[in-house]
Amino acid sequence: MPRLRAVSGRRGAHSLVGLLAGAVLGVVELVFLCVAGPLHLIPAMRRPCDRIAKRLLSLERARLATWLGHRTAPAGRGYGFLAVRATVGVVAGYGVLAGLFLSGLLIFGGMWDLLTGESESVPVDFPGVKVISNSGVVGLLIGGFVLVLTQAGALAAAATERLLADRLLGPSSQERMRRRIAELTATRSDIVRAVDEERRRIERDLHDGVQQRGIALAMLIGRAQHAADPAKAGELVAQAYTESRRLLDELRSVAWRIYPTALDDLGLRAALSGVAEQSSVPVTVRYLLGERPVSEIETALYFIVREAISNAIKHAGARDILVAVEEDEQTVSVAVSDDGTGGADPSGGGLSGLARRVRALDGSFTVDSPPGGPTRVAATLPKEVPCG
């Protein structure tokens, strides 16, 4: 609770400063708009007016980001925002300033009356109750109440300014639609590319592993069939049996890399535990999810962890790996950290494929791997699968 109150107090103080700065800037913007309106009718003056407007907009964005904790994309309707924001900013800013001034007078006057002994008895009437109070105490109470109202008004005004910034500075609904269509088009291409890469990887696994062991097994059986010496034939059959077990292990490994059955049967926690047990280096799994994610998200989390662990062992020489799976109200996040040599290339086949898989689910994917290490591969995914 003390921490929450401290955070709320800081937010209120930042809002007060931001609104007061906005009041000063609002006066400048109103003067500019009054002058720029007629000047904008002159073609030669439009470009200088636009430059000044862009400068004022950049100051507004800096003020919103610094004091009101709100960032906006460089888009939207600049002059419309300046006109509305200047009016709201002047009213809100000077309203807050008046509230601070009034509360300061009341609190100072109340303290002065109490300290100097000049306070007088003041009747305070409530329905059915009549109280005789002290003018100094009444001044302090009213001043404190006005101060609280001023802070609440500052927070409400700050929220209004953030809403105005979203509506007028942010992209329009058509622009957001165009961006969304572009994202979906890119995501569709990424999915097709990822599927093709996965097919090629499966083909390599079958060709380089399973097929070679199958050929070796067939050759051993053929030699055993044509062996004249029963002892030699028995030895070849024993070798063929051993090779068949290796072939089965290879098939299980390929099937596990394609999709682990434990993920469907037992869930993500068990599947990650299986990956950790099969790892040649120690892997610690910190699993903090309350409920199982939906299957698409669960599958993506699994492959992110598996690929990151594989890269850490093969390319970074890691000796210790930590996997953390966490959640908040709307997202699920996974982070794989290792103590290897670093230098992982996000554009490499494995990591870039993971990035495409994550983007297809409206998630974010980051790779932090400075030379010398450590490396951290992280992804954040929505709990609900996007529908378009």
pLDDT digits 0-9 by tens, 305-345: 988 888 888 888 888 999 999 988 888 999 999 888 888 87
Domain edge (last residue) among 171, 200, 223: 171
Residues 280, 218 within the same domain: no
**Segment among 43-57, 213-227, 243-257 with least mean pLDDT:** 243-257
Q: Please choose, from the candidates 121, 146, 145, 125, the residue with its C-alpha nearest in 3D space to the C-alpha of residue 135.
A: 121
When mean pLDDT is compared over 13-22, 54-63, 325-334, the highest value belongs to 325-334
Domain-terminating residue out of 243, 258, 273: 258
To the nearest 5 percent, what fractions of the chain are helix, strand and coil?
70, 10, 20
Residue type, 209: G
**pLDDT-derived band at 286, boundaries 50, 70, 90:** very high
296, pLDDT greater than 70: yes
Q: Within this chain, do residues 154 and 233 fall inside the same structural domain, yes or no?
A: no
The verdict on residue 182 lying in a domain is no
Rounded mean pLDDT, 341-370: 82
Average pLDDT over residues 101-122: 77
**Are 36 and 117 part of one and the same domain?**
yes
Q: Kindly state whether residues 271 and 254 are assigned to the same domain.
A: no
Whether residues 143 and 159 share a domain: the answer is yes
* 315 shares a domain with 247: no
Q: Can you give the pLDDT at residue 3? A: 39
In a domain, 39, yes or no: yes
Q: Residue 222: inside a domain, yes or no? A: yes
Residue 89 has pLDDT above 50, yes or no: yes
Task: For residues 268 and 262, give the distance between their C-alpha atoms in angstroms, rounded to a whole number.
Answer: 8
Do the beta carbons of residue 357 and residue 364 sit within 8 Å?
A: no
Are 8 and 154 contained in the same domain?
yes
State residue 156's pLDDT score.
82
On whether both 325 and 216 belong to a single domain, the answer is no
68/86 same-domain check: yes
How large is the average pLDDT for residues 151-160? 80
Least confident of 4-8, 55-59, 244-248: 4-8
- What pLDDT, on a 0 to 100 scale, did the predictor assign at position 216? 78
Percentage of the chain modeled with pLDDT above 90: 5
Number of domains in the chain: 3
Domain termination site, one of 217, 243, 258: 258
Residues 160 and 214 grouped into a single domain: no
Supply the pLDDT for residue 249: 72
- What's the domain range around 240? 191-258
Average pLDDT over residues 255-280: 79
Residues 270 and 222 in one domain: no
pLDDT grade, residue 380 (50/70/90)?
Answer: very high
Pairwise pLDDT comparison (267 vs 198), residue with the higher score: 267
In a domain, 25, yes or no: yes
Rounded CA-CA distance 358/301 in Å is: 9
pTM, full prediction: 0.48
Backbone φ and ψ of 280, nearest 5°: -85, -10
Q: Does 315 reside within a domain?
A: yes
Contact 322, 279 (CB under 8 A): no
Task: Say if residue 130's pLDDT is above 60.
Answer: no
Q: How far apart are CA 375 and CA 320, in angstroms?
A: 11
| DSSP state letter for 104 | H
What mean pLDDT, rounded, does the chain reach? 77
pLDDT at 335: 92
CATH of residue 327's domain is 3.30.565.10
Position 184 in a domain: no
Are residues 269 and 360 both part of a single domain? yes
Question: Are the C-beta atoms of residues 296 and 385 closer than 8 Å to each other?
Answer: yes
Residue tagged 């199958």 (tokens): 214
- Distance between CA 167 and CA 163 in Å, rounded? 6
Side chain identity at residue 287, one-letter code: Y
For residue 197, what pLDDT band results from cuts at 50, 70 and 90? low
